[in-house]
Amino acid sequence: MPLVHHIVSTSSRQPTATTQAIMSCPSAAQETAHNQTEQDASDNQKLTAAQKAADNQELTNNGKRSLSQLDRPAKSGRVAVNTDDPVSIEDALFRVKMNRLLKYNQPVYISPMAKSNLQAPDNSALPLMDMVEGFLADDSQVMLVLGDSGAGKSTFNRHLENKLLTNYEAGDRIPLFINLPALKQPDEDLVAKQLRTIDFSEEQIWDLKQHRQLLLICDGYDESQLTSNIHTANYFNIPGQWDVKLLVTCRTQYLGSDYRDRFAPKASGQYHRTASNLFQEAVITPFSKEQIELYVEQFVPLIPRTWVKKDYMDKLATIPNLSDLARNPFLLTLALEALPSVVDSRSDLSRLRITRAELYDTFVDHWLEVNKRRQQDQALKDKRQAFEDLLEDGFVHNGIVFQKELAWAIFQEQNGRPVVEYSNRRDKSSWKARFFGSGHEKSLLKDASLLSRTGNQYRFIHRSVLEDDDEFAPHVYSEATGVSLPITDHPLSKRSLVPEPSVIQFLAERVQMQPIFKQYLLALIELSKSDPLASMAASNAITILVRAGRHFNGADLRGIRIPGANLTGGQFDSAQLQDSDLAGVIFTKAWIRQADFTRARMEGTRFGELPSLREASDVDSCTFSPDGRSFATGLENGNISIYDTTTWTRIRVLYGHEAAVVSLAYSTTGLQLLSGGSDGTVRLWDGKSDATDRVLKGHSKEVRAVAFSPSGMQFASASTDMSVRLWDTQTGTVTFVIEDFGDVTGIAYSPDGNNIASCCMDGQVGVFDTRTGLLVQGSGTSNVRYCCLAYSPNGESIVSGDVTGELQLWEATTMMPRIKWRGHSGPVTSVAFSPNGQWIVFGSDDKTVKVWGGDSPALVSVFTGHTQTITCVAFSPNGPLIASGSWDQTVRLWEANSAGFGLGVDGAFDSKSSVAYSPDGRFLISHGRAGAIRQHEAESGEIGLVIRRQEFRVNSIAYSSDGRQIAMGGSGGDLTLWSAHTGALENILRGHTEDVRAVAFSPCGQWIASGGDLGMRLWDARSGTSIQVISSNDACFVRTLSFSSSGAKIAFQGYFGTMQVWDVTTGKCKKAIGGSDYGNHFVRPHDWEYVLAVEGCVGEIEEIVWRANKLEFATADMGGSTRVWRVVERFDKVAVQLVWGTGGSGLVASGSILDDAIGLNSLNLNLLKQRGAVLSEDL
């Protein structure tokens, strides 16, 4: 039987779990883990035998043992070894090597793929082993390997160590595996501490330090809770210190925006080259379909099973969200083990939604059940009675309670540090004795649990198991949802979970699985109204509920105490929050429309943005000063506004341009400001006063872009007169004129100032030498019309945006295109890199600001709120702030470090969406043009059926009259019919030559009408055959259509605005009604009366549908959001309240009440008032 749940090295105190193969054979894993003492003894015997066998090998090369050269990784060099060394370093290394190799066992191993950084696309990934071997061969000093929880980091580390040890020869760089969480203060004397754990003497350690090179494979940086730079703190590679290469693994979720500072070597005084050349990064990518299939192929034969490979693969493909979960190796392992139980007796797998929490629960039950049977078959002797007692009381239940209580204690007593070191002599009076001390029941439960042991160290087999067990759930609430523990002893009262998103995510999944848990969390929030001691628990509870998608629209939350809660993206429409404690609460992108904050405590509350700057004219350009203390805006009226960024007050206005100021740039010292205008002039201003230093003429048309060189000795201007001019800053004279362009729209200096890049409307992107004015590299002409460009801070990349909304990354030295992707639905008007190069921000004519990864098309965040074209974007140089200017006469200021930023976005950010209610009003189906089709429970918004399409963009959607079918019209002219119950594709109706833009079923269900190319088609709903083709009288695309209540007539409207009514049976036009130029035509019956306007909608409304027999309607907007609204009567007035919504939005605060709010600072007060919040005194 294969040993799956293995101990990698007892002497190195390495945990016994692997990430991928731990669970592939549970019974074997448990047998190995719980007979560790016997296994250690056996290993020692094997080691002795192996050493004797090795001693009998033929000795070569002056007595050194000759080992296999197969697959030897690249080395930085081999050190000459003195074989007469009295401290016997090589003998000691051989002993360690054999020990590690004997203990390595990995029955299922799939080589991981990795990309070069977090922002790179997954399809750019290379084998991680190849990347590591390249790292070993070059001059780099540190390699950071990142990956999500369960991605396979630890498994790879042990595999890497095994490979290097297998190929090790005397004098090679020595691989040393270090489990960081198992060491105390690993940021000090790291190598010596690890060597002492594997019985190296001080003399041997000193000799290694002076004469040998090491590869440190440091596992679990995040679990060790380090924040320091290991390389710097240990003085590695300084003369007289350890000569090492350092490979560190860390969970991606643990890192902040400036994480590289924790790992990259410091250049100052240590190295002859910049630190960026000494640091590499690799990010493990999710499993591909091929990797999953290979894993299943290796998994199935491990133990006898009733399922074969095809059974597993079929279920992974059929259950909607399981294929996404299975891309994580650890979750794949759990899924394969849990699947037979999960799908047992369930017939409709297409509607089954499995969460990570459910996989964990099923696996834990299975693990404990297997261990119960194993212990039952053993000769327990004196433990037999204890075992019988556990059986009677419920063995599995007691095992779950044991694990949960241990997980809670680890977080409570060790602040989540996963390794528990227990000595029966030293710790018998500590909290540890409760779990690891003497006692038969305790011993049985410990041996049956998901724990691994190395010597006197215990830990859960995987970090995520610890986090899942630390969920504070089943054992802490009663069936009546009452709080069973004193609130001060409650696990949720012990610490804030806000900084631990993975724990929050597990708990959020529990809410979705267990309605009673949701009620329990709500009870904690309610308790906080009367008990101040419940505030921490309530804060955690509401954070979990918001993450789980629980809406608090219209909720009575008066007096709740939730300081520090993270309510990012939460919905609190019309919520009553009077007298609440909201100190430090995060409301980034929250929906707080019409919420009442009267007398609420709001000190330190964050909203993810600052108040907008309002100008008297359209904003055409903006820039920060190099020190970040000043901010300048260029306006359509020719003025320039200067702001103090400490208070965000306007301190100066510069007058001089006779037309719009379309470009601005500060010098590197901040002492000069450069402006370019539509009047064709370039102006140089004193950066500290209102004075104009120079007015520079030469361009004959609008100056579209200006830039200072990094040295400040030169500046450049670009114009629609098809030229770029390079100027001498001191004299104001032109040194070079670069011509033969189209209209030049953007310029940017390289970081070293030697080159300048430009882009044009004629399709050229070129790089020129600033000392000669000559072309260095060019992209060549194309039909792309470029609008803007920017250099990356390291000078390696150039990014550009064009009029179609596409974004392009180029290799700066060769101008070879790297990556191109669709970023916006309209022209890209402006682009800027973050100071550290991690992000790129774009502004667009589509009124959105989007932040992408600095090296790839990975969408990080979307900011909405501008109502007109965005003309300029800029990153603050000394703080995580993004500014965007617009023709709506505002500059908006977004916090780039706010909660929710840098965490990605859910799915594609669609430019449009559409909605339809089922005939009985029970369901609402929604879609974005690029996203999946989702069927929601109309009352709650909970997602049921999900239909995923391949290469098919949806424009319109409709239910059949009996609710059994869903029709979708989309790209390519196809009309598709799907089962509303299973989501299966049932028919494809072909005939349109252009996109299908509108679709409707007749009331009787007999016909389907679809509109797209210059007219409409009528189809038989049962057979799918085309019955009639009706051409539009005004020869335009059909925009919308609808059947009459009898089904005898059908009306449709084209993009030119004319509405036509046709007879279904004769195919003749009965009536045509003219519309406005924009396709809007309103008919107002005399007895209709305007009631109210719904304020706070984000984005242009694309569609409105009413729910049958309810005063509820749904809206779909151009931003891809769906919202459901309810018409209510409040204080004898009609009002509209949000029921639920999906899709991203910015902060929405219209109508919220701020009377007597306590501690709300002036910036936040101004922000909320700008967003429509009110004070009674303002009414």
Tens of pLDDT, residue by residue over 308-330, are: 999 889 888 877 778 778 888 88
Element (H, E) at 540: helix 535-547
For residue 601, the 8-state DSSP code is: B
Please provide residue 1054's backbone torsions phi and psi, each rounded to the nearest 5 degrees. -95, 175
Place of tokens 């192929």: 297
Residue whose C-alpha is closest to residue 689's, from 676, 662, 677, 671:
671
- CATH 2.130.10.10 intervals, the chain: 611-895, 949-1083
Radius of gyration over every alpha carbon of the chain, rounded to an integer in angstroms: 33
Number of C-beta neighbours around residue 155 at 10 A: 24
Cα–Cα dist 551/934, whole Å: 18
Distance of CA 64 to the CA centre of its chain: 51
CA atoms within 13 A on the CB side of 396: 11
For residue 57, pLDDT over 90 is answered with no
Please provide residue 314's backbone torsions phi and psi, each rounded to the nearest 5 degrees. -65, -45
Cα–Cα dist 480/581, whole Å: 27
**CB-neighbour burial class of residue 836 (10 A; exposed 0-12, middle 13-18, buried 19+):** middle
Residue whose C-alpha is closest to residue 630's, from 666, 676, 674:
666
How far apart, in Å, are the Cα atoms of 537 and each of 506, 512, 558, 562? 16, 19, 17, 8
Q: So what's the architecture of 611-895 in CATH?
A: 7 Propeller (2.130)
Amino acid identity for residue 330 in this structure: F
Element (H, E) at 440: helix 440-448
Question: Using an 8 Å Cβ cutoff, are 518 and 510 in contact?
Answer: no
Number of C-beta neighbours around residue 339 at 10 A: 21
Residue whose C-alpha is closest to residue 65's, from 80, 54, 79:
54
Number of C-beta neighbours around residue 1134 at 10 A: 11
Q: Give strand pairing partners of 821.
A: 807
> Using one digit for the tens of pLDDT, what is the confidence trace for 113-147?
999 887 677 788 999 999 999 999 998 999 999 98
Cα–Cα dist 1172/1176, whole Å: 13
Q: Which of 175-184, 580-589, 936-945 ranks highest by mean pLDDT? A: 580-589
Q: Which of 79-93, 408-422, 506-520, 583-597 ranks highest by mean pLDDT? A: 583-597
Number of C-beta neighbours around residue 837 at 10 A: 20
For residue 1036, pLDDT over 70 is answered with no
Residue partners of 67: CB distance under 8 A and separation at least 6: 166, 167, 168, 169
Cα–Cα dist 242/790, whole Å: 41
Please provide residue 816's backbone torsions phi and psi, each rounded to the nearest 5 degrees. -85, 135
> Which is it for the CA torsion 980, 985, 990, 994, positive or negative?
positive
> Using one digit for the tens of pLDDT, what is the confidence trace for 802-816?
999 999 999 999 999
For residue 75, pLDDT over 50 is answered with no
Q: Taking all residues of the chain, what is their mean pLDDT, rounded to a whole number?
A: 81
In this predicted structure, what is the pLDDT of residue 364?
82
Question: Using an 8 Å Cβ cutoff, are 1176 and 1155 in contact?
Answer: yes
How far apart, in Å, are the Cα atoms of 972 and each of 80, 386, 909, 954, 955? 69, 69, 21, 10, 11
How far apart, in Å, are the Cα atoms of 1119 and each of 495, 827, 927, 929, 935? 38, 16, 12, 10, 19
Residue whose C-alpha is closest to residue 597's, from 1149, 1153, 1147:
1153
Residue whose C-alpha is closest to residue 1008's, from 1053, 978, 971:
978
The model's confidence at residue 176, banded by pLDDT at 50, 70 and 90, is very high
Which pair of structure tokens corresponds to residue 600?
């609420």
Question: Using an 8 Å Cβ cutoff, are 693 and 672 in contact?
Answer: yes
Cα–Cα dist 532/530, whole Å: 7
For residue 525, pLDDT over 90 is answered with yes
Higher pLDDT, 417 or 872: 872
Cα–Cα dist 144/282, whole Å: 6
Class of domain 949-1083: mainly beta
For residue 26, pLDDT over 60 is answered with no
The model's confidence at residue 256, banded by pLDDT at 50, 70 and 90, is low
How far apart, in Å, are the Cα atoms of 490 and each of 434, 471, 533, 585? 18, 12, 10, 21
Which pair of structure tokens corresponds to residue 109?
């191993």
By three-state DSSP, how is residue 784 classified?
A: coil
- Report the alpha-carbon angle 964-966-969, nearest 5: 160
Secondary structure string (H, E, C) spanning 724-746: EEEEECCCCCEEEEECCCCCEEE
Cα–Cα dist 462/1137, whole Å: 45
Cα–Cα dist 526/509, whole Å: 21
Question: Using an 8 Å Cβ cutoff, are 567 and 1124 in contact?
Answer: no
Please provide residue 710's backbone torsions phi and psi, each rounded to the nearest 5 degrees. -60, -30
Higher pLDDT, 886 or 855: 886
Please provide residue 266's backbone torsions phi and psi, each rounded to the nearest 5 degrees. -90, 135
Number of C-beta neighbours around residue 344 at 10 A: 7
By three-state DSSP, how is residue 190 classified?
A: helix
- Of 692-696, 1012-1016, 1119-1123, give the lowest mean pLDDT range: 1012-1016
In this predicted structure, what is the pLDDT of residue 142?
95
For residue 342, pLDDT over 50 is answered with yes
In this predicted structure, what is the pLDDT of residue 360?
76
In this predicted structure, what is the pLDDT of residue 54?
39
In this predicted structure, what is the pLDDT of residue 275?
54
Please provide residue 758's backbone torsions phi and psi, each rounded to the nearest 5 degrees. -140, 155
For residue 903, pLDDT over 50 is answered with no
> Using one digit for the tens of pLDDT, what is the confidence trace for 291-310?
999 999 999 998 888 899 99
- Of 66-75, 506-515, 584-593, 1111-1120, give the lowest mean pLDDT range: 66-75
In this predicted structure, what is the pLDDT of residue 372?
86
Higher pLDDT, 232 or 910: 232
For residue 474, the 8-state DSSP code is: G
Place of tokens 């509350």: 605
Express as a percent the part of the chain with pLDDT over 90.
40
Higher pLDDT, 364 or 217: 217
Amino acid identity for residue 1089 in this structure: E
Q: Which of 156-165, 303-312, 357-366 ranks highest by mean pLDDT? A: 156-165
Can you tell me the mean pLDDT for 457-471?
Answer: 66
Cα–Cα dist 1128/1134, whole Å: 6
**CB-neighbour burial class of residue 380 (10 A; exposed 0-12, middle 13-18, buried 19+):** middle
> Using one digit for the tens of pLDDT, what is the confidence trace for 1101-1160?
778 888 988 889 988 887 778 899 999 887 778 888 899 988 766 889 999 999 999 999
Can you tell me the mean pLDDT for 420-445?
Answer: 88
Which CATH number describes the domain made up of 22-284?
Answer: 3.40.50.300
